[in-house]
Structure formats: structure tokens, C-alpha cells
Structure 1
Amino acid sequence: MTGRRSAGNSRTWSVGSWVKGFFLAGALLLTSCALHPGAELKQSSLGFNRALQHSLAEQMILNLVRLRYGEPPVFLEVTSISTQYGFSGDLSAGARVNEAYPDSYSFGLGFSYAVKPTFTFVPLQGEEFARRLLSPIPVEHLVLLLNSGWRVDRVLRLCVQGLNGVPNAPTASGPTPSKPPRFETFLRVSRALENLRRHGYLRFVFLEREGRAFPALLISPEARDLAETREVLRLLRLTRASYYPLVGPEAEPGPDRIRVETRSLIGVLFYLSQGVEVPERDVAEGRVVLTRLPDGRPFDWKRVLGDLFRVRESSTFPSGALLAVHYRGRWFYLSDTDPSTKATFVLLQQLFALEASKGKGLSPLLTLPVGS
């Protein structure tokens, strides 16, 4: 009798051991999959990317609002991102051999997982602040932007305050001016250039002569008799030529070249800050400076920026906002249904990234040889 129970128990324990081993192996496999760092790294890196992009974009909107209110901007830059992964787990199993079949088994599994991201921010200040924000945008950077698919009028209106003496609201490159800016002629020039580019008659390129590369504007021979071409040459006081070198403000003006006066990056921000709407209460209480016409009426900056950039304001959180920041008890936001503002904002962010390369010997991607 004892021998049969022993034999029976031996057979039962053999089956139970196999079942318990199966569950133990499955538990270990499940734990390994759940704690696999590769899958979590992919998910967390995407989350970090979205969080960082959103944070830097909101910082940009906040600084534009600050400038509109006459306050200094503050820029924080991410210098490093590090992540620590923590894992802990416990596994338990038990078996009970009964006098009568079947035996019973117990199984327990627990684990925990933690991700600890660390973003390191430093303020942009000192020499780096002066180099990136206060110095003029290099003309070479304009050509790179113009060759990357951006509209000519968008890039020029944002980054340039004068072409061959034709002003583009140069007083807007600083705190809100008291008098209206001059911009109408520049607007006509930039739109005519964009129309020529859209039809394939115009290119901004790097030319090479005697081993030296320089930026230039090319207008195809087929476009020389078009109305837009004649208007551009007349307004910029240019003579007919196969190409026009783009020179900086330090160069002498001439009818065979285009003298480009670029804004600084902080000048671009001041310029765009005029597109920030402010509540009437803040205007009435003198919290912002108004630009006024000669008769004393407020100048409408939508004439300059209305089709380029607009930051709206609301007393409540805007449901249709792409980005929104809460400041001075109001919400300032970019509308998700304003494609022109969204495009200008993306261009501004690209410009910030491009200006980080100042002083690092950025080379043109393509140069075309010309005769001497």
C-alpha cells in the first residue's frame, strides 16, 4: 500500500514538476520581454523628443511675448540628455503534495521598471549670446535657406532689413518704434522675386570665380523682359546683367550688385514680436509701447506682418492652439489653422539652428563657375 502511494506520488510529482517548470520558464520569458530595454528605449526616446521639441517651441513663443511687453528674453539650451533605467523583480513558487491526487501548486511574479530622464539646460549668455543673437545673419545662410525650398518673400522679410537701400522696417529690429516703419517698396520687391522663383526664372546660388565662392542672384535670360523683372531692376536700381553678387553692408553699393543688410537673430525676434496681439486693457494701461501715425492714431502692424506671423491672445485656454503659453494672466498661442504663421515659426526655428554654426566655417553645398 505504501509502495503504491509512493509510486503514485512519484508519478504525480513528475507531472507536477513538468507543469511547474513550464510556468517558471514562461514567467522568466515574460519578465525578460517586459523588461527588455530596447523596446522601452525606443518609446522613451520618442517621448523625450516630443517633450523637448514642445518645450523649446513654447520657450520661443514666451520670449516673443516678453519682447512685445518690453521685457528681456531668456533662452535655455539643452546640453545633454541622459536616462537611467531601473529594474527590480521577484519570483515565487510553491507546491503542496496532497494525500489524494491532485497536488496543488502556487506561482507568483512581480517586477517594477522605472525611467529617470535628466535634461541639462544652460542659459545662452555671454560670448555665445553675442555671437548667435547680436551679430548679423550671414548672407551665406540666407542662400542656404532660400535653396532649401522656402519662399523668397518669407525669408527676405524675416531676415533682411534692406536691399540696395530699399528698407524693410529696419526700425522693427529693436524695441517697438514710435514711428511707422518703411516697408511697402521692399514688400513689392520680395513678392516679385518670389513670383520669378516660382516660375523657375530666378535662383540664389553660390558662384565661383578665381577660386573664390560668393553668393549671387541669377535671373534667366528668358525673364529679362517680364514685368516682375523690370520692376525688381528699377526698384533696386540695377542694370541688366547675367548675375548679381550679394554683398554685405560693408561693401560699396553699385548697379551690378545687391547690397544686403541682414537682421541679427534678436532683430528677427523683435520684428516678429510686433505680431503678438495684446489685450486692450494692457494697451490702455500703457503696458506696451504703441507705434503711432503722424496724426496720433495707432499704426496697424498687421500691414507689415498680417500675412506672415501672428500670435493670438485669449483669456481662456484656446482649444485650437498649436502652441500656447500662459503669461500675465492670458493665453498667447499659435493657431493650428494658420498655415502661414506655422511656416514662419518653423523657419524661425531653422534659423536658430543654423545660426549655431556661426564661426564654424560653413561651406556652400554647390558652386557654379563663372567667367572672369
Structure 2
Amino acid sequence: MLKRQVIGYDEVISEIEQDLLLLNIARSARGEPVHFTATSSIAATFDWTTTLDATGRLEDSSGTDFFNLNLGASASENPTFSLRPITGQDFTKRILVPFTDTAFHVLAYQAGAIDRVMRLMGFGFEFQNPDGSFVRLIENDPARPAEYEEFRRLAVHLRWLLDTRGLFVRSLVFEELMVHEFDAVPRSQDITAGFDKGLKWRQNPDGSYELRRFQSGRIVMTNYDPAALTDQERFELNEKIKRNPSGYVYVHLKPDGPGGEWPVQGAIWLRSMLQMLNFVAAGIGVAPEFDVAPDPRTGGRVAANPSATLKINVTDDAPAGNVAFARAGDRFYSVDDTPWNRAAFATLGDLFQSAVGEVEDVGIPITIAK
């Protein structure tokens, strides 16, 4: 019984999160403000009781024994749900602030299609000069057709490079110099304590010591292996990227590398949770997406490239089959039943989990007890 109930609660929470996503997409499409409520805790008390009674009576006259046997079992559960509306500063941090390049890095591999993640998370692409200065911006917005088409072609180009093992997506790792000349000999306990923190002492030719620390820096997408750069080059590249906000994903395609027929240098601007919901909602009617052919400079066969990043169907009746849907007003909003759209909705759900999955002190919770 316990196994069945725990799985049942998990399914309920999963359905609630899917409904919240679709409901807020519907709200955005209808011009209504979004609202999020997180299930911060679930507590359930299970009571399982069994009884067994056996009584006997011996009848001498008939030589027959009579026995009475009573079996009984009872079970009860008392679940308590704590709900917390996402408001105030927590709403700003979780819903309005763009995602970081780290979130993009994780999903680029787990979601299995970097173009799908880029189309969902990317607000636009900023082309930059070699020194990191601004050149121009293209938005991932069908309301700006020319810019939208270029963004889509770039997303497909990067997907093709990744599929053909020509794209590296990783964080920059380098040694950072913390102390250049230290005259005294480091103590053994300092050396030992530094191991766990990535610190490393090294003796210079003049007998002094320097202290270095391994650092994991910003995320890059390149058509060359960042590990092939010198440590100083990786450090300088990271310093240049650090001038951009954490919601930028740096992209550099050199002319002499794979896919270099289309040299690119710049950064993907990442969206916030609210911007992603608004983008999907706009695709329902205000600014629908459309087909975009791959760029001629993208060689070889490309993967699936549907017109919509995440297609939401709006119907008068509940959809048939096992698809996620929510009711808003008198209409039903459901995920289009294709592998691409199911995967895109799952990616949106992963981002929703990372944004509102852990809720701490954000006001007084609403507690529901059964």
C-alpha cells in the first residue's frame, strides 16, 4: 500500500506542475497575468492495523470442536500539503531573471537537441567583435521575420555541428594565479588543506613560491577544443566573457574549423521563465512561428526542424490520448502529440523545476489536510 500511495502522490505533483505550465501559457495567451504556486512539502501519516482473533469451544456430548476465527485489517492515511505562492523577490529571482549559461549547458546534453533548447531558451543572438564589443542583435521572435529566420538557421547550424562532433560545449577550466611571489616555504598543513580547495603551490626558479587555483569558468560553444588553448588563453577568454551577464552563452566558430563556412562570434541571450512562457503563448496566435530552411552553409543532412518550438493546441473539447492539457475558461490547451513537442514540453518542465522546485521562506504557506 505504501508504495502505491507514494507513487500516487508523485504522479499528482507531476500533473499539477504540467497543469501550471499549460495554465500559465493559456493566461499569457489570453492577456492575463501569470501566477505560480509551489508545493513546498507533503507529509502523510499512514496507519495500518491488522487483527486476528481465534476462539474455541469443546462439546463433549457430540465430540465435536467448534472454533470461531475473526480476521480484520484497516488502513488510513492523513496527507498534508503545504502550498506557497511565488511572489515578491522570489518571483523576480525565479520567474523574471534569465537563466544562466550553466542551465543551458546541462540541458544542451540532457535534452538531446541543442537547437530545441536554443529555440526555447534563446531570446536572441548578439554578434560581437573579437574584443567582445557589440555589433548587432537578432531576436528569436517571429514578429521580426528576418531576424527570426537568421536565429533559426544558426540554431540548426549548431545542431548539425554537434551531431557531427564538430561542436564543443563546455566550461572553461584554467589555473588562476593567486599569489605570485611568496618568500617563505608553505607549511605542510597549508598544502594539505589546499588540495580540497583546488589550490596548488609551485616553486619558482628564484626559490619563491606561487599559489594557483583551478577555476571552472563560463560556458563556451566552439568549433575547436578549448582544452587545446593555453592556460593563459583560456583565462583571457574567460575574462572577456565575464563582461557579459551570466545569462549569455558564448559562441565562437572559427573559419578554419568545422562549419567555419559560417564564422560566428557572439553570445546567445537566454530568456527568463516568464519570457519562455510568453514566447510559447505568442505562438498560439499573436506571433506564430513558421518554417525556416537551413542555411546553405550548413553541410549535410540536418535533424528535425519543425516550425513551432512548442506547439500548443487550443480546442473546445478535452484532447484524446495521453497528452498534457489544462482548461482555461471554456477552452482546452494541450501539447501537440509529437515526439518533438513532447520533448520540448519536458524541457520546459525541467526548467520550471529548476526555477520553482525548491521554495524556502516566501510568506505564509497554504496548508491543506485531508
- Give the TM-score band, short-chain normalised: 0.5 to 0.7
Q: Is the 8 A contact 1:65 1:276 kept in 2?
A: no
* Per-residue deviation, 1:345: 0.8
Q: Is the 8 A contact 2:220 2:251 kept in 1?
A: no
**Bigger mean CA deviation after superposition, 324-333 or 252-261:** 252-261
Asked whether 1:214 is paired with 2:218, we answer: yes
Asked whether 1:134 is paired with 2:96, we answer: yes
Q: Is the 8 A contact 1:204 1:217 kept in 2?
A: yes
Q: Deviations over 1:7-55 (max 9, x none)?
A: xxxxxxxxxxxxxxxxxxxxxxxxxxxxxxxxx3222111111111111
* Per-residue deviation, 1:219: 0.6
Counterpart mapping for 1:91-170 below 5 A:
91-98=52-59, 99-163=61-125, 164=127, 165-169=136-140
SS of structure 2 residue aligned to 1:112: strand
Asked whether 1:261 is paired with 2:222, we answer: no
Counterpart mapping for 1:151-190 below 5 A:
151-163=113-125, 164=127, 165-169=136-140, 182-190=147-155
Distance 1:47 1:269 in 2: 28
Q: Deviations over 1:272-331 (max 9, x none)?
A: 112346xxxxxxxxxxxx45xxxxxxxx43458734211112222221241122221122
Distance 1:159 1:71 in 2: 22
* Per-residue deviation, 1:247: 6.0
Counterpart mapping for 1:48-87 below 5 A:
48-87=9-48
Distance of aligned partners of 1:147 and 1:334 in 2 relative to their CA distance in 1, 3 Å threshold? closer
SS of structure 2 residue aligned to 1:109: strand
**Bigger mean CA deviation after superposition, 306-315 or 191-200:** 306-315
* Per-residue deviation, 1:218: 2.2
* Per-residue deviation, 1:67: 0.6
Q: Is the 8 A contact 1:248 1:261 kept in 2?
A: no
Distance 1:249 1:70 in 2: 32
Aligned equivalent of 2:311: 310
* Per-residue deviation, 1:100: 0.9
Q: Is the 8 A contact 2:25 2:278 kept in 1?
A: yes
Q: Is the 8 A contact 1:136 1:264 kept in 2?
A: yes
Counterpart mapping for 1:186-205 below 5 A:
186-205=151-170
Give structure 2 stretches of 5+ with no counterpart. 128-135, 177-214, 226-236, 253-262, 293-305, 359-370
Distance 1:114 1:70 in 2: 44
Q: Deviations over 1:209-255 (max 9, x none)?
A: 4424222122149xxxxxxxxxxxxxxxxxxxxx9975675699999
SS of structure 1 residue aligned to 2:110: coil
Counterpart mapping for 1:7-86 below 5 A:
40-86=1-47
Counterpart mapping for 1:243-282 below 5 A:
249=244, 257-276=265-284
Residue type at the aligned position of 1:76 = T
Aligned equivalent of 2:352: 352
SS of structure 2 residue aligned to 1:266: helix
Q: Is the 8 A contact 1:91 1:109 kept in 2?
A: yes
Q: Is the 8 A contact 1:316 1:330 kept in 2?
A: yes
SS of structure 2 residue aligned to 1:346: helix
Aligned equivalent of 2:195: none
Distance 2:65 2:146 in 1: 91
Distance 2:30 2:113 in 1: 30
Indicate the structure with greater helix content: 1
Distance of aligned partners of 1:181 and 1:316 in 2 relative to their CA distance in 1, 3 Å threshold? farther
Distance of aligned partners of 1:302 and 1:327 in 2 relative to their CA distance in 1, 3 Å threshold? farther
* Per-residue deviation, 1:257: 4.5
SS of structure 2 residue aligned to 1:72: coil
Of structures 1 and 2, the one with the larger relative CO (CA 8 A, separation 6+) is: 2
Q: Is the 8 A contact 2:335 2:345 kept in 1?
A: no
Distance 1:95 1:200 in 2: 79
* Per-residue deviation, 1:128: 1.0
Q: How many residues align?
A: 271
Distance of aligned partners of 1:149 and 1:317 in 2 relative to their CA distance in 1, 3 Å threshold? closer
Q: Is the 8 A contact 2:94 2:356 kept in 1?
A: yes
Q: Is the 8 A contact 1:246 1:259 kept in 2?
A: no
